[in-house]
Structure 1
Amino acid sequence: MPVESARAKIQELLPQLRSDLEDLVRIQSVSADPARAAEVERSAAATQALFDAEGFSTQIIRAYDGAPPAVIGEKLGPAGAPTVLLYAHHDVQPENDHREWDSHPWTPTERGDRLYGRGAADDKAGIVAHLAAVRALGDDLPVTVKLFIEGEEEVGSETLPELLDSHRAELSADVIVIADSGNWDIGVPALTTSLRGLVRVDVEVRTLDHAVHSGMWGGLVPDALVALSRLIASLHDDVGNVAVAGLHAGPAADVDYPEERLRAESGAVAGIQWIGDGSAVERLWTRPALSITGLDAPKVDGASNTLVPSARAKISMRIAPGDTTANALACLERHLAEHTPWGAELTVTLVDAGEATQIEADGPAYDAARAAFRDAWGGTEPVDMGVGGSIPFIAEFLGAFPNASVLVTGVEDPDTRAHGPNEGLHLAEFERVCVAETLLLEYLGRDQN
């Protein structure tokens, strides 16, 4: 299919694709909420019906009775053609406080150049981008297309390894297209080639077995909040680099991230200084990062005049590509033990972890992807992009199918606001993504036949 034919076909299909996407967004498939388990089931059924209508042979699978549902399927291409597995997920994050949204989170609403709603981008637009490509190509698929639409990505993909193992034959492919990332900017496509991993721990510091009067004992007995504060402060040096010894760091792609764009997209307050040294993309993509994402301590309002006996913090550590969660956890635990002040009792509890990913994006499949992006975006060269966040399941695919070329793509852009209020899909970018995936399947088949 020539580029202009693909563009024209997607434009013809857009009204129905938009309607299909809006129908999916209306389904409250929050996998983290047991009360909405039926909505997750409804979302899987709706996804299955969309691909059944395109001639796929599909089924809903789960690791065990009551586990979240995934949709798998297949539509055959020509004999001897490559096999391409298309991945997305149909579950979404909680919408949280509706008052923080400018429109109802479960009512897809167009404002300006975006469609707003929970899951409008992450990741129901990924599902519909896959749907767009197979719908545009119809019965002239140049490749065999397999499908895997997960139902628990937003809660950690706990049963994904089991599903990949038990359905290995049904899911095996030459190329895997994972539509759960984003592009470098509006108008600039990207392949995601590295992602940081994640280690989260809860840290408790205890200095007393009960609270005592601050006047009677202050100055002699350390309180847990001060001890925890000193421990947290030890995690960074004076410049703001992570001070935990033994963590891996590496170079990043030579990509310019302009200062004004950094400030606009991060929401940094006026006058804030960036932490750490090195290029912006190194600090965001290929170096470790440590954040305190929660604290358990008495509230300021109503706090009594006592020494606090214990305090807890949640530490979120992003680990660089090339590191492992085992090494990073060991390094962090060692640092915390060595820097806990005044003999305080320390308890470290692992919450969750996910491996970092580094993809060597060379070979025919990556060439086809870059050509498809270039053509869909009107000649704009795609960027090989890192992501500071974590998508641990990518490592699962790389491990399960070591001979497959894994392409990490997506519909998001720097202002998508996935997981937050006012999540929105840039509609012009979505159209280009649909054109690009149509061309990608065409080019993958053309190169092999």
Structure 2
Amino acid sequence: MPTPPAELSDAVRAVLPGARTDLEALVRIPSIWADPAHAEDTRRSADAVAALARDAGAADVQVVAAEGGAPAVVAHWPAPAGTPTVMLYAHHDVQPTGGDEEWTSPPFEPTERDGRLYGRGAADDKAGVMTHLAVLRAYDGKPPVGVTLFVEGEEESGSPTLTALLEQHHESLAADVIVIADAANPAVDVPALTTSLRGLVDVVVEVSMLERPVHSGIYGGPVGDALTALCRTLATLHDDKGEVAVAGLVHGSSDAPDPDEAVYRSDAGLLDGVELLGSGSIPDRVNHSPAVAVLGIDAPKVAEASNVLLPRARAMVSMRLAPGQDALQARQALTEHLERHTPWGAHVSVEPGHGVAEPFSLSATGEVYDHARAAFADAYGNSAVETGIGGSIPFIAEFARTFPGAAVLVTGVGDPASRWHGIDESLHLEMFGRGVLAEALLLRRLSGS
């Protein structure tokens, strides 16, 4: 592989310690925009990112928000004559912790163990924020191309006001290339270009059977309870193999090789003896097929339960969508399935959930993608692979629609052990350095140097 330009490699190496320090400071801010109790923390997080952008030499920095939306940061480094403008995207909001007591170390106190930095947001996606800022520092605030830094604040909530934000700041955000640092690599030394993502829809299903709670001894038997009816309804979402049983959904496939199943099971935290669901290769099941999960049920806690038949019960059902699927059609198919399979004449209502994320796919061909492959290979010592991601990033399709002439690169510094959204989320620190170098080399190549 070609040797990276020594001066740029040295500059990246010099800024990494400070980038780590600032990453740790960002991780300490619990910017959980989805939780109203952390709205002010999310604003503090945006202000902190804005200050870092100013320190990295931005010509102008704004903290902006659409009505009702989270604060986002927009900063600019003007383009030298004859060079393109590159948008560098990441997000500073994070997922809830899932229970602080479940973590090995406190989720908002960054802690290093075995070369990994643990903390909520350490990987998803404050590492993406600091990747961009470290690159700009490596260029001493004078990147070889124009740069627009766009750091969103509500990605973990489905980016509900992003469309409005892009409309309001369209001219300020316009770019020739969009680099989205919110994805993952298959291994810490193997970079990836993400070329497909699944979509996402969810619904809230409510089953009703009684006007009011009644005694389970006096009426139980002839009279059913809503929670049991709901459970039977939810059980029809999969067949005996665990395949999604909703009719009319798109299924795809790829040539991606299967990972080692033992490693995959370990990364997922599967208990001994628990079977994998569905059939086909793991990449096909994760990246190119629908998946259904019940995310929550409204029902009494076991400790608070009494001997009554519940009159109504409800659940949130989430469905991931394969590339090529229309999200609204899929949500309608899910709705109709739930309505058809509610037993015993129980009343059922199905309402849309939080939002809709269309699946996304792209063809990674052309000069920009060639530059990216070369930059990644130089930085990682291995060629980049094209991969899909089973998760959903709703804004990517929105960017592609809003800026149709821009090449979209989806990259990142996560790996299978990063546990995004999970307990003990972490960042592999050596891979973080490779990711910074790869992006710095990409900007250099895009400038024509």
For the criterion TM > 0.5, the same-fold answer is: yes
3-state SS of paired residue (2:409):
strand
Unmatched 5+ stretches in structure 2:
none
- In percent, how many aligned pairs have the same letter? 52
Structure 1 residue aligned with 2:353: 351
Q: Is the CA contact (8 Å cut-off) linking 1:63 and 1:162 kept in structure 2?
A: no
Which position in structure 2 is the counterpart of 1:319? Answer: 321
- Mapping 1:268-287, distance limit 5 Å: 268-287=270-289
Q: Distance in 2 between the 1:293 and 1:406 partners?
A: 31
- Alignment partner, residue 79 of structure 1: 81
Relative distance call for 1:199 and 1:383 in structure 2 (3 A) is same
200 and 170 in structure 1: CA distance in 2 versus 1, 3 angstrom threshold: same
Please tell me whether residue 120 in structure 1 is matched to residue 129 in structure 2: no
What is the aligned partner in structure 2 of residue 91 from structure 1? 93
Match status 1:186 vs 2:188? yes
The answer to whether the 8 A contact 1:60-1:69 is kept is no
Q: 1:436 & 1:237 partners in 2: Cα distance?
A: 44
Unaligned runs of 5+ in 1: none
The 5 A counterparts of 1:27-426 are 27-64=29-66, 67-138=69-140, 141-301=143-303, 303-352=305-354, 353-378=356-381, 380-426=382-428
Residue aligned with 1:312, SS: strand
> Cα–Cα, structure 1 residues 233 and 40, in superposed 2: closer, same or farther, change >3 Å?
closer
Change in Cα spacing, 1:329 to 1:282, as seen in structure 2 (3 Å) is same
Q: Secondary structure at the match of 1:389?
A: coil
Distance 1:344 1:26 in 2: 48
Q: CA deviation at 1:397?
A: 0.7
Once the two structures are overlaid, the 10-residue window that deviates more, 296-305 or 317-326, is 296-305
SS of the counterpart of 1:343? coil
1: CA distance, partners of 2:245 / 2:69: 40
Distance verdict in 2 for CA 1:308–1:114, change over 3 Å: same
Q: Give the alignment's Cα RMSD to 1 decimal.
A: 1.9
Which letter maps to 2:349?
A: T
- CA displacement, residues 51-94 of structure 1 (integer Å, 9 cap, x when unaligned): 22232123324344664221112112321211110001122223
Pairwise CA distance, 1:409: 0.8
SS in structure 1 of the partner of residue 333 of structure 2: helix
Read off the aligned partner of 1:78 and give its amino acid letter: P
Taking the aligned partners of 1:265 and 1:416, their CA distance within structure 2 comes to 9
Matched AA of 2:266: A
Work out the CA distance in 1 between the residues paired with 2:316 and 2:366: 41
For 1:15, the equivalent position in structure 2 comes to 17
> Structure 1 139/312 Cα, relative in aligned 2: closer, same or farther at 3 Å?
closer
User: Could you tell me which amino acid in structure 2 is paired with residue 179 of structure 1?
Assistant: A
Deviation by residue 1:281-303 (Cα, 9 ceiling, x = unmatched): 11111111111121223344453
- 2:431 is aligned, of 426, 429, 432, to 429
Question: How far did 1:183 drift?
Answer: 0.8
Distance in 1 (CA, whole Å) between partners of 2:300 and 2:334 is 26
Q: Residues of 2 paired with 1:58 and 1:28: CA distance?
A: 26
Instruction: Give yes or no for contact 1:3–1:375 (8 Å, CA) kept in 2.
Output: no
TM-score (norm 2): 0.94
Measured in 2, the distance between the counterparts of 1:170 and 1:44 equals: 18
Does the CA contact (< 8 Å) of 1:48 and 1:58 recur in 2? no
* SS class of match (2:182): strand
* Deviates most, 138-147 or 313-322: 138-147
What is the CA deviation profile of residues 368-414 of structure 1, one whole-angstrom value per residue up to 9, with x for unaligned ones? Answer: 11111111111x12121111111111111111111111111111111
TM-score (norm 1): 0.94
